[in-house]
Structure 1
Amino acid sequence: MISIKNLSKIYKSKDKMDVTAVDNLNLSINKGEIFGVIGYSGAGKSTFIRLLNRLEEPTGGEIVMDNKDMTSLNNQSLRNERQKIGMIFQHFNLLWSRTVFDNIAFPLEIAGVAKDERKDKVNELIQLVGLTGRENYYPSQLSGGQKQRVGIARALANDPKVLLCDEATSALDPQTTDDILDLLVNINRKLGLTIIVITHEMHVIKKICQRVAVMDNGKVIEQGEVLDVFMHPKEKTTRRFVQQVMGDQEEQSPIHYFVKNYQSGKVLRLHFVGETANQALISKLVKTFNVEINILQGNITQTKDGAYGTLYVHMDGNKEEIQNAIHYIHQTSVELEVEDHA
């Protein structure tokens, strides 16, 4: 759906100190997926997303959307293609003198859509984003989450194939953020939109994205499936983002730390990935085998495609029962590390 090759953006300055905001960036984004781009302030992620619809002109490289090279289009062709790309922003960018209805209708007016058709489309979008009953409200009468819902509806007015989200939840409280993310997932499912999410919050990535690219100093330093990035972060910047939602894994105690506290049994490190984290494993073990299990430490977080986390437990009981329980765990997809008591 979207192929980005050797994309760069260099800002020229009068003192000849050029700034490279996007540096030889390469990405491939699949049709219908929710793709995340994460980076700290100054990483180049907002410049990158504005390059996609040429709100910023690239210095070099290629952006192909739906088999069309965005970087080679003339002005008229670019205007036509931009109608297929919706965009929502951190600070909503609503027209404060217009009602909710009229804000959503605005891009349809510009596109020359007939009045009756506009009305039907706007009412459909108002229902989709959960603003029924607020059609005649002005932005000043809305909460932050409601304003962003207006922004989303307006971005969808021309039936785009791609939705760009530039820090769309950064100005919202945590509960409202989750509500907006749920809405984006619902829109992705109903409309089959390709959604590109720019953020500095790993919570956003883990909740709705299938794949993620990590940006630093204008470059993509790491990319892959969200679960893979959680499991095996390679770069320091990526590890810092994972720590936002998982805590500092380096500060987690090694398995042998717990052993000295027990005179019998075994200490187990259970590593859950994807659907395995949704299994009631501890409950099944206790019900099936004559063992006692004490949870020592753990941290599990949910991503869009499953959960990821680690659980340390002490298992005690008859030696044979313990071995049978461990054998049972090996038959599942839960990764297991075992340490005998001291």
Structure 2
Amino acid sequence: MISIKNLSKLFQLKQQQIQAVDDVSLDINKGEIFGVIGYSGAGKSTFVRLINRLEEPTDGDVSIHNEDITKMSNHQLRKKRQKIGMIFQHFNLLWSRTVYENIAFPLEIAGVPRTERKVKVLELIELVGLSGRENAYPSQLSGGQKQRVGIARALANDPEVLLCDEATSALDPETTDDILELLVSINKKLGLTIILITHEMHVIQKICNRVAVMENGRVVETGDVLDVFVKPQSETTRRFVQQLNPLEYEKDRLSSFINEDSTSEVIKLHFVGNHAKQALISQVIKQFDIDVNILQGSIAPTQEGAYGTLFVEINGKESVLKEAISFIENAGVEVEVLHDVE
């Protein structure tokens, strides 16, 4: 669907050069929600603006449906942009126009007849949950409602791709979740490919299928969201994952439970996907002559399934502890022994 090859952007500021995007290559599948995450200055917003040439790339290619937009003339690019919707952090609405008029604006530019415009605009207003607010002005809307207008406007020309540049960063957590649910609904109903730029791991976790992590203009890690969360490879990714699952990095705090008594072990259990739904601890207690003390744990959902971490202390004979750990591993749960069984 979208093929990005060796994409770069170099800004020349007086006597200083800034490499905002550095040799990025990605393939994004049709109909998926693809997240790009990075801290401030990572180059992610510049990257997304290169996809529709709001910024001109210094080098590299961007192809959408096998059409290289970096080679298009201005006339060809204007037509192609009608199929690339974009929503922004600060909404970018026309403040002198009503909700209806804001959504109708791209259709006016495209030369769509008035009767067809009306039908399309009313469909979109219903789709984004703004029925009854057609005649309101942006100043009369909440932040979430303004973003819903921005989404409807971006969908006006039936785009193939929707680019979201920090679309929820200006919203409170509850409104953010509402907008994310709307994006998932639109993705499913319209089969729309969504590229979502954010610095919030919660956003990636909630709706994305795959993610690319950016640092200093480069992609340092990419993969399925669940895989990246479970086994982050880069330090930047580990910092983001820690925001959602701090227990992953709190092993040192459990040192008070770890002792030299061979009848006691502290283990970390890592549940992924359907394994997170198993009543595994109760099975272990029933099957083995051990005591189990749950120390702490957490679980988080993603689009590809749940993942969770559980720290437990197990007490019993050395041979029985080994059998219990083997049983847990055979159930498909990753086990890390924080105090090795002798």
| TM-score under structure 1 length normalisation | 0.91
2:156 is the alignment partner of 1:157: yes
Aligned-pair CA distance for 1:248 = 6.4
Alpha-carbon distance change, 288 to 186 in structure 1, aligned in 2, over 3 angstroms: farther
Instruction: In structure 1, list runs of 5 or more residues that go unmatched.
Output: none
Residues 247 and 309 of structure 2 are in contact (CA less than 8 Å); yes or no, is this contact kept in structure 1? no
Residues 259 and 341 of structure 1 are in contact (CA less than 8 Å); yes or no, is this contact kept in structure 2? no
Residues 33 and 195 of structure 1 are in contact (CA less than 8 Å); yes or no, is this contact kept in structure 2? yes
Deviations 1:171-200 (A, max 9, x none): 001111111111111111111111000111
Deviations 1:79-135 (A, max 9, x none): 111011000000001111111111111111111112221111111111111111211
Residues 276 and 333 of structure 1 are in contact (CA less than 8 Å); yes or no, is this contact kept in structure 2? yes
Alpha-carbon distance change, 290 to 122 in structure 1, aligned in 2, over 3 angstroms: farther
**2:89 corresponding residue in structure 1:** 90
2:196 is the alignment partner of 1:185: no
2:309 is the alignment partner of 1:305: no
Distance 1:182 1:137 in 2: 23
Distance 2:37 2:69 in 1: 23
Residue 28 of structure 1 aligns with an amino acid whose one-letter code is D
Distance 1:172 1:30 in 2: 28
Alpha-carbon distance change, 150 to 290 in structure 1, aligned in 2, over 3 angstroms: farther
| TM-score under structure 2 length normalisation | 0.91
2:121 is the alignment partner of 1:122: yes
Deviations 1:239-261 (A, max 9, x none): 21111111263332387752439
Q: Which deviates more from structure 2 when the two are superposed, residues 253-262 or residues 192-201? A: 253-262
Alpha-carbon distance change, 266 to 125 in structure 1, aligned in 2, over 3 angstroms: same
Give the percent of matched residue pairs that are identical in Structure 1 and Structure 2. 65
Matches within 5 A, 1:280-319: 280-285=279-284, 292-316=291-315
Q: Which deviates more from structure 2 when the two are superposed, residues 215-224 or residues 324-333? A: 324-333
**2:173 corresponding residue in structure 1:** 174
Matched position secondary structure for 2:92 = coil
Residue 33 of structure 1 aligns with an amino acid whose one-letter code is E
Distance 2:247 2:329 in 1: 27
Residues 265 and 340 of structure 2 are in contact (CA less than 8 Å); yes or no, is this contact kept in structure 1? yes
**2:197 corresponding residue in structure 1:** 198
Distance 2:283 2:153 in 1: 49
Deviations 1:251-294 (A, max 9, x none): 32387752439885654421112222233333454567776532
Q: Which deviates more from structure 2 when the two are superposed, residues 321-330 or residues 243-252? A: 321-330
Aligned-pair CA distance for 1:27 = 0.9
Residue 67 of structure 1 aligns with an amino acid whose one-letter code is N
**1:58 corresponding residue in structure 2:** 57
Alpha-carbon distance change, 69 to 196 in structure 1, aligned in 2, over 3 angstroms: same
**2:77 corresponding residue in structure 1:** 78
**1:12 corresponding residue in structure 2:** 12
Alpha-carbon distance change, 238 to 326 in structure 1, aligned in 2, over 3 angstroms: closer
Matches within 5 A, 1:251-266: 251-253=250-252, 258-260=257-259, 264=263, 266=265
Distance 2:11 2:245 in 1: 37
Residues 265 and 340 of structure 1 are in contact (CA less than 8 Å); yes or no, is this contact kept in structure 2? no
Matches within 5 A, 1:322-341: 326=325, 328-337=327-336
Alpha-carbon distance change, 297 to 74 in structure 1, aligned in 2, over 3 angstroms: same
Residues 265 and 314 of structure 2 are in contact (CA less than 8 Å); yes or no, is this contact kept in structure 1? yes
Distance 2:232 2:25 in 1: 19
Instruction: In structure 2, list runs of 5 or more residues that go unmatched.
Output: none
Matched position secondary structure for 1:18 = strand
Residues 209 and 304 of structure 2 are in contact (CA less than 8 Å); yes or no, is this contact kept in structure 1? yes
Aligned-pair CA distance for 1:53 = 0.5
Residues 45 and 218 of structure 1 are in contact (CA less than 8 Å); yes or no, is this contact kept in structure 2? yes
Residues 215 and 221 of structure 1 are in contact (CA less than 8 Å); yes or no, is this contact kept in structure 2? yes
Distance 2:5 2:249 in 1: 36
**1:241 corresponding residue in structure 2:** 240
Residue 12 of structure 2 aligns with an amino acid whose one-letter code is K
